[in-house]
Structures are given as structure tokens and as C-alpha cells.
Amino acid sequence: MKKIIFIALALTALLLNACAGNNAPTAIPTIVLDGGNPSPNDNNGDNASGVTASAVIVPVNDARLSFSSVGRVTSVEVKVGDTVTAGQTLVRLDTTILEARVREAEANLAAAQAQVRFLMRQKTDQVHLEEANAEVDRAQALLDSANATLNAQSTLTAPFDGIIVSVDIAPAEVVVPGQAVIVLGDLSSFQVETTDLSELGVTKLQVGQPAV
């Protein structure tokens, strides 16, 4: 009887040990960056000697140029690869409507000035004369605004020295506000841009580190 009880206890102990072995947690591998030693579990292309990531080289300074108003293109004076200087005209728009607005403003100014001269000949009271002079000032402001609009919106100029990277407009086409028609780049200096550099890789980058 004692032998049977001993065997039963032994079997129970074995079963308990087996169950405990099956439920034991599995160790989770970790990546440790100590002294730059590479980890065997690092599958992102990052290692102690370098960082792998796709990238493009772009100018440090570039500009996507557009008009601020609707207009019809009369001439495109540059092509891809041309070297331009700051202030150089790149694209011209049809200025018929803008010039008409300037002429209208000029006519309104002339009429206001004529009204002042008439009131002075009539020796009108000071109140009416001041109102007429105020009208002259308003007409002059509208003329100045029309001229400024004509100068600003009739041509597209280069904001800095550079090279034409792309031209996306042709004569007789109509441009709309915000439509990029010229891309200008300063190719005297470049920078590298990437979108797939991992957070782990960022920690390994240093200023002046060579790139291949």
C-alpha cells in the first residue's frame, strides 16, 4: 500500500513539473546600443558602422513660382536648364485688362482734378473744396494701386539667382492663382532628404558623417 502511494505521489510531481514547464514565459530579445555593437536582431538596415536609408539630393534653396491672379500667358522666356539672375523676367501675361484698369483710374483722377479747378473758379466754400480734394486723393490712390497691380501681375520674375528646374506653362495657356508654373533652384548648395530613416538610425547620425 505504501509503495502505491509513493508511486502516485511521484506521478503527481512529474505532472506538476511538466505543466510548470509548458507555462514558463518566453524570453523577449532586446536591442542594446552599447558602444555601437551591432545587434543580431536589427533587420532595419541600421548598424554600428552606418545607416541605410533611401534619399534624394535637392537644392537647399528652391522656389515654386506662381501668379497671384488669372491671366493668359503671352510669352515664356526661359527653358529648363537656363541660368537666371534675381529680377529676371521668366513669364509674361497678357496685360490688356490691367492696362484698361490703369486708364480708367487715370480718367477718374483727371475728372476729380478738373472738379477741384472748377470749384476754385466758382469760389465755392471751403467744405466743398476739401471734399473735392479728398476725392482727388482717393482717385490718386486707386491709380497707384492699378499701376502696382499691373507691374506685379504682368510678369513673373526670379526671386534669386539660380537654374530653371522645370517649366509647366506655355504661351496662350491660362494661369490661375497659386498654380506653380516655374520651379527655380539654387544649385550652389544641396541637402539630402529622406522619408524612411528609422528612429534608431537617427541616433547614429552625426554632422559631417560621409554618405555613400
Residue 201 is predicted with a pLDDT of: 72
CA angle 34, 37, 38 (to 5 degrees): 125
Quote the CA–CA distance of 184 and 20 in Å, as a whole number. 70
Please indicate whether residue 125 or residue 139 has the higher confidence score (pLDDT): 139
By the 8 A CB rule, do 60 and 186 touch?
A: yes
Residue 49 is predicted with a pLDDT of: 57
DSSP one-letter code for 197: -
pTM of the model: 0.55
CA–chain centroid gap for 172, Å, is 28
Quote the CA–CA distance of 60 and 187 in Å, as a whole number. 8
Residues 6+ apart with CB under 8 A from 39: 31, 32, 33
Element (H, E) at 187: strand 180-193
Q: Specify the range with the lowest mean pLDDT, choosing from 47-56, 95-104, 142-151, 180-189.
A: 47-56
